[in-house]
């Protein structure tokens, strides 16, 4: 894309003063101020987002959330009197695509700010470059990608909090239900392995015996033999870290084979069970599963702007053909925008270090609740939900718009019911 450059010849001092005077008069008028603002270049926010490939379902919902924020902020006059523009590339859900895309965003597109792609695998490869370039990066639901890099301008929109909090909350629920031994089943990919690693560490600190520990290849489609082996190990708690296709395959195998009456709690880290179409397709197979989530339609989870956001999202999701519910990622895409909006408005700056300092030192009010960051750019306090599916029927997506279908067990301040155990009883 080429920029037009105009060249002017010499100009007399009298004409210059006259022109300057006219310009000042124009700027002083409301119309002139609007024209001058309109002439300013937009603030460009660059990102890759999976629009194709295995992560596309989440990527599209996340992007729609960001686009709704862009439209809202532009309707209010933009930021620093400038419109906000998104520069987005499809990373095809691939880690090999993102480094080149982010180099282009910085060097060619000259974007002002960067948002990370959705998910851990595409985000991890860009972290060293972003740190080296001294760029602020708003993370998008990746897990522990900054733990080794230590970039001080990284801020994750996800509710994870301290690295062990996810596993701790699930194992707490299992222990309170009488569980003493644990089975681990995880996809052999970075995100799932990070979850399994922390679960292993938490179990070790609590003297919980790990009786089954298996990683499976990401392209696994048949889980019957794995579930039979897991059942034979007779664990009290089953912690699963899986991706959407695997989550469905695992639950179908569990439905066919069962896991035994000794299992108190099953689930924990299953990706996919947060998406509307996956939930609709699995239907009653979800019952009894205790799994993480980020937002659910319970009274305690509505903050300033939440209801308004979901009304807009529901209408636009139909046209965009994305997740009709959008609970998992879309409000956090919007939140990414709110974070930079508040930082820019407060500091009147686009300087990367200035914005990072503001984000690190303040609590930010968003549609998913107040957010405060630790030094590592993750939440100071976890806001991950653990919820149990209850009374879910087949082929009915509307049921998930009401409270009670996913009963919140954690955190305590958002709790909406007690767990049903054992898992086999909860399934029925």
Give the span between the Cα atoms of 111 and 107, in whole angstroms.
Answer: 8
Q: Which helix (H) or strand (E) holds 140?
A: none
Question: What is the reported pTM?
Answer: 0.86
pLDDT in tens, 78-123: 999 999 999 999 999 999 999 999 999 999 999 999 999 999 889 9
- What pLDDT, in 10s, does the model give residues 171-217? 999 999 999 999 999 999 888 998 999 999 999 999 999 999 999 99
Cis omega before residue 422 (within 30°)?
yes
Alpha carbon distances (Å) from 17 to 8, 29, 35: 16, 19, 21
Q: pLDDT (tens digit, 9 = 90+) per residue, 42-74?
A: 999 999 999 999 889 899 999 999 999 999 999
SS3 282: helix
The tokens of 310 are what? Answer: 């979901």
pLDDT above 90: residue 9: no
Q: 3-state secondary structure string, 320-383?
A: HCCCCCCCCCHHHHHHHHHHHHHHHHHHCCCCHHHHHHHHHHCCEEECCEEECECCCCCECCCC
Confidence of residue 340 (pLDDT cuts 50, 70, 90): very high
Residue 349: pLDDT band (50, 70, 90) is: very high
CA distances from 66 to 19, 43, 193, 365 (A): 41, 14, 29, 16
Q: Average pLDDT of the chain?
A: 91
Which tops the pLDDT comparison, 1 or 59? 59
Confidence grade of residue 16 (pLDDT, cut at 50, 70, 90)? very low
Q: Please check whether residue 326 is in contact with residue 64, taking contact to mean a CB–CB distance below 8 angstroms.
A: yes
Q: Which two tokens stand for residue 24?
A: 């000042």
Q: Is the dihedral of CA 101, 106, 109, 111 positive or negative?
A: positive
Q: Which residues of 304-335 are buried (b: 16+ CB within 10 A; e: fewer)?
A: ebbeebbebbeebbeeeebbbbbbbbbbbbbb
Strand 43-48 and strand 84-89: pairing? Answer: parallel
Place of tokens 């596309």: 56
* Nearest CA among 349, 354, 362 for reference residue 80: 349
Give the CA count within 13 Å in the CB-facing half-sphere of 318: 5
Neighbours of 49 (CB within 10 A): 27
Residue 347 CB coordination number (10 Å): 14
Q: 300: closest CA among 216, 408, 419, 153?
A: 408
**What are 367's two structure tokens?**
């549609």
Which strands, in side-by-side order, build the sheet including 209-216?
209-216, 181-187, 237-242, 265-270, 290-293, 385-389, 406-410
């Amino acid at each position: 894309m080429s920029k037009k450059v105009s060249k002017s010849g010499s100009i007399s001092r009298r004409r210059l003063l006259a022109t300057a005077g006219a310009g000042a008069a124009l700027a002083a008028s409301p119309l002139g101020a609007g024209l001058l603002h309109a002439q300013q270049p937009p603030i460009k926010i660059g990102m890759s987002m999976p629009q194709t490939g295995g992560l596309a379902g989440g990527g599209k919902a996340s992007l729609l959330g960001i686009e709704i924020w862009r439209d809202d902020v532009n309707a209010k006059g933009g930021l620093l009197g400038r419109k906000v523009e998104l520069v987005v590339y499809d990373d095809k859900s691939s880690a090999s695509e993102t480094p080149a895309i982010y180099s282009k965003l910085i060097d060619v597109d000259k974007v002002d700010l960067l948002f990370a792609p959705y998910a851990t695998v595409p985000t991890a490869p860009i972290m060293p470059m972003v740190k080296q370039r001294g760029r602020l990066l708003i993370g998008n639901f990746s897990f522990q990608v900054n733990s080794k890099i230590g970039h001080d301008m990284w801020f994750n929109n996800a509710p994870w909090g301290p690295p062990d909090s996810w596993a701790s909350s699930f194992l707490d629920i299992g222990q309170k239900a009488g569980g003493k031994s644990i089975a681990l089943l995880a996809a052999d990919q970075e995100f799932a392995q990070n979850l399994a690693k922390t679960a292993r560490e938490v179990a070790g600190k609590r003297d919980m015996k790990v009786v089954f520990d298996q990683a499976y290849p990401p392209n696994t489609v048949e889980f019957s033999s794995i579930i039979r082996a897991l059942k034979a190990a007779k664990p009290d708690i089953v912690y699963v870290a899986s991706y959407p296709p695997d989550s469905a395959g695992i639950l179908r195998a569990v439905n066919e084979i069962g896991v035994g009456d000794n299992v108190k709690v099953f689930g924990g880290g299953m990706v996919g069970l947060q998406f509307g179409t996956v939930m609709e397709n699995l239907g009653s197979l979800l019952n009894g599963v205790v799994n993480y989530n980020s937002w659910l339609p319970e009274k305690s989870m509505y903050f300033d702007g939440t209801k308004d956001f979901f009304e807009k999202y529901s209408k636009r999701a139909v046209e965009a053909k994305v997740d009709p519910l959008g609970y998992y990622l879309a409000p956090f895409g919007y939140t990414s925008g709110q974070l930079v909006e508040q930082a820019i408005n407060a500091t009147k700056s686009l300087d990367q270090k200035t914005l990072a300092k503001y984000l690190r030192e303040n609590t930010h009010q968003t549609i998913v609740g107040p957010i405060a960051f630790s030094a590592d750019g993750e939440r100071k306090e976890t806001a991950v939900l653990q919820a149990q599916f209850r009374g879910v029927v087949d082929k009915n997506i509307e049921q998930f718009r009401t409270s009670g279908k996913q009963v919140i067990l954690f955190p305590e301040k958002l709790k909406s019911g007690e767990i049903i155990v054992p898992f086999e009883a909860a399934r029925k």
